[in-house]
Amino acid sequence: MIFAAKHLITLNLVAAAVALAQTPAATGGGTPSPTEIARKMGMRNVRVHDPSTIAKCGDEYYVYATGMPMFHSKDLVNWTPGPGPTAGLSMTWPAEAVPRGGRGGGGGNYWAPDVIKVKDKYFIFLSASAFGVNTSGIGAISSPTLNPDDPAYKWTDGGLVVKSETRDNFNCIDPAALCDTDGKLWLSFGSFWGGIMLIELNPETGARIAPNSPMYQLAHFDSIEASYLYKHDNYYYLFVNWGMCCRNANSTYNMRLGRSRNVTGPYLDKEGKPMATGGGTSFMDISDGPLVGFGHAGIIQVGDKFYISSHVEVNNSGAEPANAGTLSIRPLTWDVQGWPVAGQWD
């Protein structure tokens, strides 16, 4: 995400939704209240921006976000903050990627992490950037467990995975990892510039499979970022965001979607238009009412049920910080054509 969150604090969702969203309460068959909308949209009492995919470790679920907080839960409803994985961890790759520091570089304010389990370890991919330019980098850290109370808990710096400079037509932020059914590990990333890119990683180390390995362009649009790849049945699904976030009522963030038979593409929307040339079917887009800006998709399967996570902003016309996203977790189903459908809670 090109605009980093500044205030990662716990949100009293019900009070905030009622106070900030200027929508009257429901009476009979009238307009749903902000509280009811928040409940249906699965908003949790967690203030995050750019949330990672939710990962399970033991009997708990974990999520990370810009600024590198950690929250954990046993039921996907009630979340508790815990120690961030980068606290006290010395890493050299941010200075290598962003020599002059900047937001995300040197100061520890890392952006848009993603977490994934590969074999017997967990990787977190996270980004640092000089902000507003594509002098950026993505690094990796790993641990045998996500549970800070486990004696084996220890994050290790895996170094720089990929970086971009002003001479490049891509931007190395917003990483999202996919472990394929054949064991291959992939990383999509990108924000503005040339769009969403994909590289293959070494599943043992999290490093790029080779320094000069192919880089594939998956999607492009003038304002595109926050990619996420998910494989379901015989398709790979690519979720992205268009527009601008973090602007309260003026946020234009909206999620788009396409799919492919191959992880490297081409990804086509429902109309058959390639995402590499501006295609993308609208998905989870709310642009009016009390909520705006669903962003940074992630899918977790629990038994035979699927859930989609993201952040969402409260449309409050400036009453809250402009980057105050809240975690949302919604039920997800698949239609007869195999496309994902985001649901609401009853």
Cross-strand pairs, 176: 188
Establish whether 225 is a catalytic residue.
yes
Contacts for 157 with CB less than 8 Å, ≥ 6 apart: 89, 90, 91, 92, 93, 139, 140, 141
Query: 226, 296 in Cβ contact below 8 A?
Result: yes
Per DSSP, 190 falls in state -
Question: Distance between CA atoms of 277 and 25, rounded to whole angstroms?
Answer: 43
Catalytic residue among 225, 269, 313, 320: 225
Question: Distance between CA atoms of 311 and 295, rounded to whole angstroms?
Answer: 5
Question: Distance between CA atoms of 332 and 51, rounded to whole angstroms?
Answer: 17
Q: Tell me, what amino acid is at 79?
A: W
Question: Distance between CA atoms of 49 and 111, rounded to whole angstroms?
Answer: 9
Which secondary structure element, helix H or strand E, spans residue 162, and what is its range? strand 156-164
User: Reduced to 3 states, what is the DSSP secondary structure of residue 335?
Assistant: coil
Question: Distance between CA atoms of 30 and 24, rounded to whole angstroms?
Answer: 9
Pairing of strands 325-334, 340-342: antiparallel
- Residues belonging to the active site: 50, 225
